[in-house]
Amino acid sequence: MLFDKINSKEVRIHKTFEPTDSPIGSVIKNILNKRIISDDKTIGVLFLADRLDHIQNPITGILKHLNNGTHVISDRYYYSSYAYHVPMLSMDWVIDANKVCANLLRPDIVFYFDISAD
């Protein structure tokens, strides 16, 4: 809805999400769908790899869009790793692993929606 509202204002905007549709993102989705069995650290590192590509990919990356003057809305970013991985991994490990992403690109604004699954 945010994308649609901003997009109607004739502002250059790109909508994206994590895990991405990249090959790394596909592996993550297969793990989440139980088609591939993996351990918690591997999943955490795969999310990190997918996120780094999401930021830096020279064709589809967030930085490419931002450098071209396009606003970016992303459904999830490194903060989601704090929520999803900390129950299985230590908070220090997750924060340290994702520092590289935080140092490359921090969002201007973050929305957190605390709603029921229903």
> Rounded to whole angstroms, how far apart are CA atoms 98 and 78?
6
For the entire predicted model, the pTM comes to 0.88
73: three-class secondary structure by DSSP: strand
pLDDT of residue 64: 98
pLDDT of residue 85: 83
Q: Which residues of 28-65 are buried (b: 16+ CB within 10 A; e: fewer)?
A: beebeeeeeeeeeeebbebbbebbbbbbeeeeebbebb
Which DSSP helix (H) or strand (E) runs through 41? helix 40-56
Q: Which parts of the chain register pLDDT below 50?
A: none
A 10 A CB-CB count for 97 gives: 19
> Using only C-alpha atoms, what is the Rg of the chain?
15
**CATH of range 2-6+13-104; options 3.40.50.300, 3.30.360.10, 3.30.930.10, 3.30.9.80:** 3.40.50.300
pLDDT of residue 20: 97
